Amino acid sequence: MPYNFIIILFSILLGTVAVLVCARLIHRGIRRFIARSGLGIIASALRQPADTSTPRTLQNLTNTYSQLIARDFPEFDVRQFLTRAENLLVQILNSIESGEGIGISEHKDISSNLISKVDNLIEDIKSKGENWHYDDIYVHGSAIADYGYSMGKRTIKVEIALQYRFSNSDAGVRSSNLDQYKYSLDAIYIQDVDKLGDNSFKGHNCPNCGAPVKSIGEGNYCQYCGSGLMEVNVRIWTFDNFTRC
């Protein structure tokens, strides 16, 4: 009996060792497979927090659309245009922070629609008792993302990647996080006022009495009936909208 018991005990120990060895070999094989297949890199990336130091990716179609724009507007300067867009975006953020908005008299290349959007956002922030701050603004780059024609106007969409520290002092704490953001700006070029589909624009005739408007510099009202008119810039690229992507 003792002899049989020893044999049984030895067999159990031997089986246990064999199982452990097999398990270790299988574990090594799985690790090698993951390393070779690249799954380990993916798993590691999923465990890591998002890298907020990397600039946001832009839909860069500048080279493609530059040729089309140059065909329609031979004197168009792409680099100068993108610089204007970058400077305008920084100015918009600063105007939101100051709460003063953008004066239309100072910027002939900004539409009343864009100015109204900024003013409405500022009023909404004030109504909530909030104060937005954009500190350490730095523009990484910009690119043309789209170009097209519709409703009597040409439109260029610009995407801009930048970073800043955003905070809302309503909470009494200023943020120390430097985050990456992406915005888009739309610029329009009016080619045919009659096709815009909006009779409130100042064009050839007053939408109320039909009297001719001889010049877009006559003021924001009809000289005959006094109806209000919205000025629309022609023969110039005008920034008309901005959006955070």
pLDDT digits (tens, 9 = 90+) for 3-24: 565 666 666 766 676 666 666 7
The alpha-helical segments, DSSP class H, found in 111-207 are 112-127
The Cβ-side half-sphere exposure at 35, using a 13 Å CA radius, reads: 6
Q: pLDDT band at residue 80, thresholds of 50, 70 and 90?
A: very high
Q: What percent of the chain has pLDDT over 70?
A: 58
Q: Find out whether 208 and 223 touch, Cβ atoms under 8 Å.
A: no
Between 26 and 57, the more confident residue is: 57
| Token reading at 184 | 């888009």
The predicted model gives 34-57 an average pLDDT of: 54
What pLDDT sits at residue 155?
93
pLDDT-derived band of residue 192, with 50, 70 and 90 as boundaries?
low
> What residue has token string 């089309």?
68
Alpha carbon separation from 160 to 164, 222, 245 (Å, rounded): 13, 39, 10
Q: Is the pLDDT of residue 238 over 70?
A: yes
CA dihedral 208, 211, 216, 220 (to 10 degrees): -40
Q: CA geometry: angle at 88 spanning 83 and 90, to 5°?
A: 100
Share of the chain above pLDDT 90, in %: 36
Q: How confident is the model at residue 43 (pLDDT cuts 50, 70, 90)?
A: very low
Q: In the predicted model, what is the mean pLDDT of residues 139-150?
A: 93
Local confidence band at 207 (pLDDT 50, 70, 90 cut-offs) = low
206 — pLDDT class (breaks 50, 70, 90):
low
Query: Does residue 121 have a pLDDT over 60?
Result: yes
Three-state DSSP class for residue 142? strand
How is residue 117 written in tokens? 């959007």
- Which range among 94-108, 129-143, 195-209 shows the weakest confidence by mean pLDDT? 195-209
Phi-psi map region of 173: left, alpha, beta (phi>0 left; psi -120 to 50 alpha): beta
Q: What angle do CA 24, 29, 31 make, to 5 degrees?
A: 95
Rounded to whole angstroms, what are the CA distances from 177 to 14, 47, 111, 180? 59, 20, 33, 10
188 pLDDT above the threshold of 80: yes
Residue pair 135/165 in contact (Cβ under 8 Å)? The answer is yes
The half-sphere exposure of 20 on its side-chain side, counting CA atoms within 13 A, is 6
Residues 6 or more apart whose CB falls under 8 angstroms from that of 54 comprise: 180
The chain-wide mean pLDDT, for the chain, equals 76
Mean pLDDT of 177-202: 74
Contact between 58 and 180 under an 8 Å Cβ cutoff? The reply is no
Ranges 13-22, 50-59, 165-174: which has the least confidence = 13-22
Strand order in the sheet with 179-190: 132-150, 153-168, 179-190, 238-244
The count of other CB atoms within 10 Å of the CB of residue 222 is 21
Separation between Cα atoms, residue 104 and residue 111, nearest integer Å: 8
